[in-house]
Structures are given as C-alpha cells and as structure tokens.
Structure 1
C-alpha cells in the first residue's frame, strides 16, 4: 500500500506515461521521409518505409552498443548510414535528424496529464526520468519539473538503480521519499522498487500485473486517480 506520508518528491516517466509514443514516432518518421524525398531522394527511395529505417537502426544498435542509451545519437547515425548506403552526402544526417527530432517533440498529451501536473507540481518537486529523448522545454512541460534525468545524459538507463538514485538526488530527496510513476513494468515499476522507491504503475491499458513476488504500491488508470489519492 502507498504510504502518502513518505512522499517528498515524485519522479515521472515520459513516453507512454504522459503521452502515447508510437503515434508520435510514426508521425516523425513520415516527416523524416518527406525531408529525404526532397533533399536526398536516393536514400528516400532505398529506405522508403519506416520498417526499413528501423532495420538499419537495429543494425546500427548492434554495431554501436555504446549508443544504446542515446536514442538521438542512434537515430542520427542510422540516418547517416542510410545516406552512405544510398550514395548520398552523409553530412545531411544532421539536418535530416533535426527534421525528425522537431516532430518527435510534438506530442499529444493524455487528457489527464496537464491537470495532474498542475496539481502535483503545486505540492511536490517533480523530476522526469526517461530512457527516451523527449525535451521537456520543446514539449512545453518544463515549467512543471524541477529537474530532468535522461539515460542519454546520465549514461545508464532504467531499470538500473543508479539512474533512479540520480533522480532522487536531483530534487534533494532520498529514494525512500520518492514516488515513481511509469507505465513500463520492468523499466519503471520493478526498477524503482529495486532502487528503494515507492511506485505507481500507470496502467492505461488495464493490463494484468505479471509478477507475483513484487507489486507496485499503487495501480492507476490515469494520473487523475493519483491526485484523488493525494488530496
């Protein structure tokens, strides 16, 4: 059970917790393809489907394990490889990635998110904790958060306890004082539990909890339910 009295800060996952990620990525990949059609047509023809670009990303991930926590660098270098294979100028990777990245920041928030962030930020210091590459400033949510911790900048990702401890430290808390909220069973819930935090599983799809030996302190259909618990 959640111990409300222990909560001194809240950490939040971003992708699929505050917004659905795959519609965002699919839209950004369409923007990337349109940019390639105009500026690097041979690469656009060679990699004309999102699945083809994902295949080359998988190849790049296997070749560059040092980039596994930096999704931006992985995407940029994948584009560079696609350009090279198509006989296009690899230097176009930078502007091509920026076209993708700008669209990737145009997220559509779940309907409960803004009211919940207003409520939570007025009562607790909030820190974002993400393995992804969303930019809170560009997304438009930075005003609600006192800190942002990403796997790309920190060097390791969830579920490693060290990144959870870094999130706690970023808001001057110890892990036991932090409630972590996220959608992913392994990365968010089990990761936070193993780091000594209380956890809220944001289960928007009404999935069944898969682990009998460890459970979240709270299961939420949306962030509005947490606000009701904390009022």
Structure 2
C-alpha cells in the first residue's frame, strides 16, 4: 500500500466494476464475439464481419461521443445502422436488435467475481455504505453483487467518468461532501483523475505490477495505491 495524499475520514466507498472487482477483458471479448455472431446469423448477412462491426461503432462514436457514454444504446445504434445499410425493414431491425442486445447482455453477465473480492465487499458493507459508479453496463445484482446501496451508470444517470457528474450525485444521495467519498478503481484516468477532480479521495487498484510513473495517463496521483482489494480492510473510515 502506498499513500500519495493524506487519507481523511470517509463515509462512503464507491467502486468501479470492470477490471476492479473482476477481470473484464475475457468477458467483454467473448460477449462481443457472441453479439457479432448472433447478428450475422439473425440478419442472414453472410459477409458481415468483425471489421464492419468495429468500423461502424467507431464512426458512431466520432459523430456523437456523448451519446456513446451509454454503451448499451451505442451498441443498439450500431446494430440499427448496419441493418439499415443492408436494407432491412423497420420491423426486422427492431426484432433483430432486441434479440441481439438481449443475447449480448446475457454473455456480458457471465462473470465470476473472485470469492476474496466478495468477502471484502461483505466485510466493508458492515462498516460503511457502498456504491457503484460505472462506465459500463453490468448490472451488479445479475452477477451476485448485492452489497451496494447505490448504483450509478454512465449515460443512464449522468455523464461518464472522468466527468464529476456521477461522483457529485453520489455525494448528494448520501448527504455528504465529495471529500467523504473514497472511490476505488483500476483506471488512472476515469477513476483516479475523475474522483480527484470531483473532490473525492481515490484508491488506485494496481494489478499491473508496474509503478505509477510507467503510466502515461497518471496525470493526477491517487490518495492511495493498493495491489489487492483486501487492503481496503486496513483503511480506517
């Protein structure tokens, strides 16, 4: 554990989800591939490829990055645009889109949260209220995470991290100052920079084995750096 700033008393701990409470890389890769495969089969567009999918997603993001902060709606819009390109009817587009996004979200939630992390959350819940601030689209309850009193999702309740919006909403919900929130996340930009700029305290979960100076996105130092989620149990609120 490394302290970069003075840790002051906190009343709420907020968590990022993806790559903080579980390894998201294999999960999103599999879900993405399942989505593309389903869309290819359902639309009967034989030449539909991964490259077409990612090119379309990129184009939509470039046109409206704020809209894409809701990653589920971004995905739906990508499906719509690809189906429109191949002349599918409005009825076909709606049916295929609904089925495809449901299929994606099923695979998106095939996540095994490490038992140690569940144990840490269960212990922390007895000490301090817990919240989620996520830029993703995982619903905590669908993967067995029911320890949180508040769940805020980018693009649904407000702007994506590192914007201060969801951090401020968390403070308002619990009736506390932003500085009384301890936000835990793996990302030096969205989690650390976002939390510090919003006036919160930040715990950086560093699972890389590399020092903070080796990261180009380390523009703001966290309050604390940890390498194991269990270290949170050593912090005093």
Q: Would you call these one fold, judging by a TM-score over 0.5? A: yes
| Residues in 2 aligned to 1:213 and 1:90: alpha-carbon distance in whole angstroms | 43
Structure 2: segments with no counterpart, 5+ residues: none
Tell me if structure 2 keeps the 8 A contact 1:28–1:104. yes
SS of 2:193's partner is helix
Give the structure, 1 or 2, with the largest relative contact order (CA under 8 Å, sep 6 or more).
2
> Corresponding residue for 1:86?
86
* Cα 1:227–1:52 shift into 2, 3 Å: farther
Q: How many residues align?
A: 227
> Displacement, 1:154?
2.4
Residue 163 of structure 1 and its aligned partner are, at CA, apart by 1.9
Deviation of 1:111 after TM superposition, in Å, equals 4.8
- Distance, in Å, in 2 between the alignment partners of 1:87 and 1:22 is 34
Matches within 5 A, 1:6-155: 6-42=9-45, 45-49=46-50, 51-88=51-88, 89-91=92-94, 92-141=96-145, 143-155=146-158
Mark the CA change 1:68 to 1:34 in structure 2 (over 3 Å): closer, same or farther: closer
Matching residue of 1:218: 224
Deviates more, 1:27-36 or 1:157-166: 27-36
Whether the aligned pair in 2 keeps the contact of 1:168 and 1:178 (CA below 8 Å) is: yes
Once the two structures are TM-superposed, the CA of residue 119 in structure 1 deviates from its matched residue by 1.0
Q: Contact conserved, 2:13 with 2:184, CA < 8 A, in 1?
A: yes
- TM-score, reference length from structure 2: 0.86
Q: Deviations over 1:40-71 (max 9, x none)?
A: 221xx33332x432221111222334412211
The 1:217–1:186 alpha-carbon spacing in structure 2 relative to 1, beyond 3 Å, is same
Sort the Cα spacing of 1:4 and 1:208 in 2 relative to 1 into closer, same or farther, 3 A: closer
Cα distance, 1:9 vs structure 2: 0.8
Task: Tell me how far apart the structure 2 counterparts of residues 63 and 146 of structure 1 sit (CA, whole Å).
Answer: 35
Q: What does residue 170 of structure 1 align with?
A: 173
Conservation of the 8 A alpha-carbon contact between 2:201 and 2:222: yes
Deviations 1:20-49 (A, max 9, x none): 22211111123223323442221xx33332
Question: Contact 1:181–1:188 at 8 Å: present in 2 too?
Answer: yes
Q: Structure 1: which 5+ runs fail to align?
A: none
The alpha-carbon deviation at position 161 of structure 1 amounts to 1.8
Secondary structure (helix, strand or coil) at the match of 2:202 reads: strand
Q: What's the secondary structure of 1:169's corresponding residue?
A: helix
Question: What secondary structure is seen at the aligned counterpart in 2 of 1:46?
Answer: coil
In the aligned structure 1, how far is the partner of 2:56 from the partner of 2:8?
A: 48
Q: 2 CA distance for matches of 1:213 and 1:105?
A: 32
Partners of 2:161 and 2:66 lie apart in 1 by 16
